[in-house]
């Protein structure tokens, strides 16, 4: 198949040995690349039940056939591993020049196992790997460290690195790139830290082959032009994801006070409109003509790149008003390598625990100074920060039953920035997301607010499954940014066609959806394998949304209904051809070519 190299670079940090491993060509047809390749390799190469912080856990950096080719917003890279936050499959998506260089090393993915004895970093130039010392970089924030690495290697490289949070094994540490791109919410940065690996510097100079260059070039150019001509382009360029603050407020989904409410009286103090006034520039990922990284000066006069999730979770969710203060915490999170969503959740959870007097040390809602101090303490895993660095699920368990009722997570991953008291399908999206509560696989909320909002309908469930197949299956495996489709309406049909021109294999949206279903079933099998059991309760959203109704706004009095949610979950399982416990049926596994999972699953659960 064109567009891929057919091999991965396998690096063992313990023995400092590297090898090139050929990949069965059928994997590309069955899994495409990116997330698909990552879960296939983790199933095969990760020991069953491995501790996420053990040297035997594998870290996968994967590209797909469309990654960093000249087509819209293609500069994205998949990072995946067994998650220290959830103990299940975890991944994330980073827009970075590292995707450009990895694509040109001659490998589709880099797989890292083992651990270094002393802090180090990898310099990879095509198939040459150097193990470098990083003792002088250890303990340093990602912005300072990246400057040092650029000084050493020049600007023409791609760099992925961790901050103090990853080094100190904070369970929601991410991998950072380019001072403001970050990925791997479920603690993939901490996996890198457990391997004493501070950074990976990539330089690739080989051009991947494209089956039909001329058609590809023409069609990609057409797609770029369509984006520029889109009606929503101008507004997107002005506000990017930040427009969602006002939208969230108007639709009662803006996370407020640890997801207690869906509106906040002070939302204008963190809005996209305010951001526009403060904006000093834009940044973005490679090959993108709709760059959405909005830069403002924070309260300390430093540049900070804003996104909706970051601002909502570190703003309304903890009642921190003033966009420039929020921007300061956001920047600190990037420097420390902490996921902003889990950070905002963990701080919000603690503030509520402190309000209810379940903890001794008090932290008030919206206390900027305290939030700043806590962010650093979390990253360095010290003092009160050491408690928060475990994430919401573990904190709640240690505080007891009352705390579990306001612990906002699914499967251990903290919920991203959409309140679901009055959004059943979005709750289902979180409940069934393959990495724990994240919106990336199915952002059905935009559809849900414009339809039978409070209904538990089959139509909504069908839409969740469709979005998961397309977003979680297709975009995460191609691997490209989904925003051209989601935000400026680029026709979905561009993607199967571009994939066809690049690979020389004919793809349709339907054949890609089957890949999505396969990936979903395999990730589910992986979770069951690692947890050693399974129950449909794993797919429930946070208790709060069922128990405590909203008290403010147009949806005051509303909460989720258990019966309705269960009905939707049944429909969801039926559509995925899983049984009523959420376990893929034997016939489903066989149909999707996942027979190899059956002997292992059979030891854990009875397959129906």
Binding site for ligand PTT (CB under 6 A): 76, 92-95, 174, 180-185, 241, 285, 305, 307-310, 333-334, 338-341, 440, 475-476, 481-483
Query: Taking contact as CB under 6 A, which single stretch among the options 170-178, 248-256, 288-296, 379-387 is the one that binds ligand SF4?
Result: 288-296
CB 27 within 8 A of CB 37: yes
Q: Secondary structure of the chain: what % helix, strand, coil (to 5)?
A: 45, 15, 40
The answer to the question of residue 292 lying near ligand SF4 (CB under 6 A) is yes
Which option in ligand SF4, ligand PTT, none does residue 269 bind, with CB closer than 5 to 8 A by kind? none
Using CA atoms, how far apart are residues 20 and 35, in angstroms rounded to an integer? Answer: 20
Contact 456, 420 (CB under 8 A): no
Binding mask 425-464 for ligand SF4 (x = CB under 6 A): ----------------------------------------
Question: Side-chain half-sphere of 271: how many Cα atoms within 13 Å?
Answer: 15
Q: Shortest distance, CB of residue 592 to ligand PTT, whole angstroms?
A: 22
Indicate the residue among 95 and 516 with the shorter CB distance to ligand PTT.
Answer: 95
| Contact present, 287 and 74 (Cβ < 8 Å) | yes
**Between residues 476 and 530, which has the closer beta carbon with respect to ligand PTT?**
476
Specify the DSSP class assigned to residue 549: -
Q: According to the binding rule CB under 6 A, does residue 290 interact with ligand SF4?
A: yes
Looking at the DSSP bridge assignments, the partners of residue 293 are 283
Q: How far is the CB of 536 from ligand PTT (least distance, A)?
A: 26
Q: Which of 444, 479, 466 is nearest to 520 (CA)?
A: 466
Distance CA 33, CA 155 (A): 28
As beta bridge partners, residue 34 has none
* Closer residue to ligand SF4 in complex, CB, 440/576: 440
Residue burial 1-33, b: 16+ Cβ < 10 Å; e: rest: bbbbbebbbbbebeeeebeeeebeeebbebbbb
The interface partner of residue 518, options being ligand SF4, ligand PTT, none and the CB cut-off 5 to 8 Å by kind, is: none
**Partner touching 472 among ligand PTT, ligand SF4, none, CB below 5 to 8 Å by kind:** none
| Under 8 Å between Cβ of 578 and 522 | no
Which residue from 461, 426, 428, 430 is spatially nearest to 575, judged by alpha carbons?
Answer: 461
Of the pair 71, 253, the CB lying nearest ligand SF4 is at: 71
469 binds, among ligand PTT, ligand SF4, none (CB under 5 to 8 A by kind): none
Question: To the nearest whole angstrom, how small is the minimum distance from the Cβ of residue 499 to ligand PTT?
Answer: 14
Residue 95 in contact with ligand SF4, rule: CB under 6 A: yes
On the CB side of 230, how many CA atoms lie within 13 Å of its CA? 23
Considering the complex, state which of residue 502 and residue 594 has its C-beta at the smaller distance from ligand PTT.
502
Candidate segments 14-22, 284-292, 461-469, 570-578, binder of ligand SF4 by CB under 6 A: 284-292
Q: How far is the CB of 153 from ligand SF4 (least distance, A)?
A: 23
Closer of 482 and 497 to ligand PTT (Cβ): 482
Q: Which residue in the set 114, 163, 204, 284 belongs to the binding site for ligand SF4 (CB under 6 A)?
A: 284
* Total chain residues near ligand SF4 (CB under 6 A): 11
Distances in Å between the Cα of 196 and the Cα atoms of 61, 70, 157, 227, 377 are 17, 35, 21, 42, 20
Q: Which is nearer to ligand PTT, 79 or 589 (CB)?
A: 79
Selected range binding ligand SF4 among 287-295, 324-332, 346-354, 507-515, rule: CB under 6 A: 287-295
User: Is the CB of 33 or the CB of 119 nearer to ligand SF4?
Assistant: 33
DSSP 349-382: HHHHHHHTT-SSS---TT-HHHHHHHHHHHHTT-
Residue number with CB closer to ligand SF4 (288 or 449)? 288
Report yes or no: 123 and 137 within 8 Å, Cβ to Cβ: no
- Name the burial class of residue 189, with classes exposed (0-12), middle (13-18) and buried (19+) by CB atoms within 10 angstroms of its CB: buried
Q: Are 202 and 254 in contact (CB under 8 A)?
A: no
Residue 288 is a binding residue for ligand SF4 (CB under 6 A): yes
19: which strand partners?
10
What minimum distance in Å lies between the beta carbon of 113 and ligand PTT?
A: 21
* Cβ at position 19, least distance to ligand PTT in Å: 28
Binding-site member from 296, 481, 521, 592 for ligand SF4 (CB under 6 A): 481
- Binding-site partner at residue 340 among ligand SF4, ligand PTT, none, CB < 5 to 8 Å by type: ligand PTT
* 589 token code pair: 């596994």
In the bound state with ligand PTT, the residue whose beta carbon lies nearer, of 99 and 269, is: 99
DSSP character at residue 242: G
Binding flag, residue 291, ligand SF4 (CB under 6 A) = yes
Q: Which does 461 bind (CB under 5 to 8 A by kind): ligand PTT, ligand SF4, none?
A: none
Q: Find which of ligand PTT, ligand SF4, none residue 241 binds, CB within 5 to 8 Å per kind.
A: ligand PTT
CA 100 – CA 102 distance, rounded (Å): 6
Nearest to 240 by CA among 305, 337, 320: 305
CA distance linking residue 287 with residue 498, whole number of Å: 15
Tell which residue, 186, 60, 194, has the closest CA to residue 114: 194
Task: Give the residue with the Cβ less far from ligand PTT, 189 or 584.
Answer: 189
Q: Which does 290 bind (CB under 5 to 8 A by kind): ligand PTT, ligand SF4, none?
A: ligand SF4
For ligand PTT, the closer of residues 72 and 180 by Cβ is 180
483 binds ligand SF4 (CB under 6 A): yes
Confirm if 188 and 94 have CB atoms less than 8 A apart: no
Residue with the CB atom nearest ligand PTT in the bound state: 92
In angstroms, the CA 25 to CA 411 distance is 33
Residues forming the site for ligand SF4 (CB under 6 A)? 73, 95, 284-285, 288, 290-293, 481, 483
């Amino acid at each position: 198949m064109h567009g891929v190299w057919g091999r991965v670079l396998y690096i063992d940090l313990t023995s400092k040995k590297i090898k090139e491993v050929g990949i069965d060509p059928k994997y590309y047809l069955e899994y495409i690349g990116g997330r698909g390749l990552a879960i296939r390799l983790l199933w095969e190469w990760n020991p069953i039940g491995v501790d996420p912080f053990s040297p035997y856990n594998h870290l996968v950096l994967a590209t797909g056939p469309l990654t960093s080719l000249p087509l819209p917003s293609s500069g994205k890279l998949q990072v995946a591993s067994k998650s220290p936050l959830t103990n299940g499959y975890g991944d994330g998506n980073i827009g970075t020049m590292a995707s450009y260089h990895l694509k040109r090393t001659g490998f589709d993915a880099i797989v890292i196992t083992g651990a270094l004895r002393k802090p180090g970093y990898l310099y990879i130039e095509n198939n040459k790997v150097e193990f470098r010392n990083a003792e002088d970089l250890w303990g340093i924030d990602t912005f300072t460290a990246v400057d040092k690495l650029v000084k050493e290697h020049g600007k023409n490289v791609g760099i992925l690195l961790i901050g103090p949070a990853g080094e100190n094994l904070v369970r929601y540490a991410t991998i950072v790139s380019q001072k403001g791109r970050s990925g791997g919410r479920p603690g993939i940065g901490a996996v890198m830290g457990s391997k004493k690996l501070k950074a990976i510097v990539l330089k690739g100079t080989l051009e991947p082959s494209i089956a039909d260059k001329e058609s590809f070039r023409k069609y990609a150019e057409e797609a770029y032009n369509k984006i520029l001509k889109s009606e929503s382009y101008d507004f997107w360029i002005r506000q990017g994801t930040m427009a969602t603050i006002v939208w969230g407020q108007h639709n009662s989904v803006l996370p407020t006070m640890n997801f207690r409410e869906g509106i906040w009286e002070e939302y204008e103090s963190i809005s996209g409109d305010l951001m526009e006034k403060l904006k000093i520039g834009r940044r973005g990922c490679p090959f993108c003509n709709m760059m959405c990284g909005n830069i403002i000066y924070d309260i300390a006069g430093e540049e900070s790149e804003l996104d909706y999730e970051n601002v909502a979770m570190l703003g309304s969710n903890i009642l921190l008003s003033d966009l420039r203060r929020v921007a300061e915490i956001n920047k600190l999170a990037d420097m420390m390598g902490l996921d902003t969503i889990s950070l905002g959740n963990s701080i919000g959870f603690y503030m509520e625990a402190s309000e209810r007097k379940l903890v001794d040390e008090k932290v008030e809602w919206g206390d900027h100074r305290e939030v700043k101090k806590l962010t650093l303490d979390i990253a360095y895993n010290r003092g009160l920060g050491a408690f928060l660095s475990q994430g919401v699920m573990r904190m709640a368990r240690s505080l007891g039953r009352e705390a579990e009722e306001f612990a906002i997570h699914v499967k251990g991953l903290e919920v991203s920035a959409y309140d679901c008291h009055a959004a059943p399908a979005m709750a289902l999206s979180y409940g069934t997301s393959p990495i724990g509560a994240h919106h990336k696989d199915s952002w059905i909320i935009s559809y849900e607010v414009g339809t039978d909002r409070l209904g538990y309908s089959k139509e909504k469930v069908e839409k969740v499954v469709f979005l998961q197949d397309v977003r979680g299956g297709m975009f995460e495996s191609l691997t490209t940014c989904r925003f051209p489709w989601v935000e400026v309406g680029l026709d979905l049909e561009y993607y199967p066609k571009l994939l066809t021109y690049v690979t020389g294999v004919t793809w349709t949206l339907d054949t890609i959806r089957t890949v999505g279903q396969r990936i979903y079933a395999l990730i589910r099998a992986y979770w069951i394998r690692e947890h050693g059991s399974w129950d449909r309760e794993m797919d429930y959203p946070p208790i709060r949304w069922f128990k405590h109704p909203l008290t403010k706004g147009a949806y005051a009095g509303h909460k989720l209904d258990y019966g309705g949610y269960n009905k939707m979950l049944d429909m969801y399982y039926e559509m995925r051809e899983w049984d009523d416990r959420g376990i893929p049926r034997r016939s489903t596994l066989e149909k999707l070519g996942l027979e190899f999972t059956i002997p292992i699953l059979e030891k854990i659960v009875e397959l129906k």
